[in-house]
């Protein structure tokens, strides 16, 4: 159960999921803003040709049923305005960026920050220490006598031997063992 909750937390905290959630919230707020604009300013303009005032305009009545054409037209304008803003301010710039990346014209990245340079120095220092430790380990391995019987070799010795073979070790093979 705890592992499942940890997996869910990792999923939620991923950068792209959080960005998506923020985008959805901002998109909903923007849609509400456009809806308020069209309801307050555009819908009254749409209802003017229909005659009447307030709720008595912007509809056709046929057979006792009201067809709210002004409300539908207002919703359509809201959709078009929202889609246009998203296209011109999100989709179009992203497409241009993708095209620039495809053509290789993306601007050069800025010089790494001080934190990145410091982390790089730490990484290089740790690599240097691991090289020294590896050399010391190789010296100690050479001083240790090989087991008389290969069946007595430990898993670590077998792993080291396999790693040497994989690296193409130039060490002279030891005496043949039976």
Q: Dump pLDDT digits (tens) for 54-111.
A: 666 788 888 988 888 888 888 899 889 988 888 888 888 888 888 887 887 766 567 7
Selection from 98, 107, 41 nearest residue 74 by Cα: 41
Q: What is the pTM of this model?
A: 0.44
In this predicted structure, the answer to whether residue 159 has a pLDDT above a threshold of 70 is yes
Share of the chain above pLDDT 90, in %: 2
Q: What is the pLDDT of residue 8?
A: 76
In this predicted structure, the answer to whether residue 178 has a pLDDT above a threshold of 50 is no
Q: What is the pLDDT of residue 106?
A: 64
* Predicted confidence (pLDDT) per residue in 22-39, tens digit: 788 888 888 899 889 988
Confidence of residue 146 (pLDDT cuts 50, 70, 90): low
Task: Residue count of the chain, please give it.
Answer: 178
DSSP string over 50-106: G-SSGGGSS-EEETTEEE-HHHHHHHHHHHHHHHHHHIIIIIHHHHHHHHHHHHT-P
């Amino acid at each position: 159960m705890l592992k499942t909750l940890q997996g869910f937390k990792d999923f939620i905290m991923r950068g792209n999921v959080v960005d998506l959630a923020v985008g959805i919230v901002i998109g909903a707020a923007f849609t509400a803003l456009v809806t308020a604009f069209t309801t307050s300013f555009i819908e009254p303009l749409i209802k003017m040709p229909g005659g009447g005032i307030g709720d008595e305009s912007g509809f056709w009545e046929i057979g006792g049923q009201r067809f709210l054409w002004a409300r539908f037209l207002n919703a359509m304008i809201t959709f078009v305005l929202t889609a246009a803003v998203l296209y011109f301010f999100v989709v179009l710039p992203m497409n241009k960026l993708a095209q620039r990346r495809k053509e290789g014209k993306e601007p050069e990245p800025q010089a790494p920050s001080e934190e990145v340079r410091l982390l790089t120095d730490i990484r290089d220092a740790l690599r240097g220490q691991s090289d020294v430790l590896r050399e010391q380990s190789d010296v100690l391995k050479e001083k240790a006598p090989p087991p008389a019987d290969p069946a007595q070799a430990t898993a670590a010795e077998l792993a080291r031997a396999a790693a040497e073979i994989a690296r193409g070790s130039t060490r002279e093979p030891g005496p043949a063992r039976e």
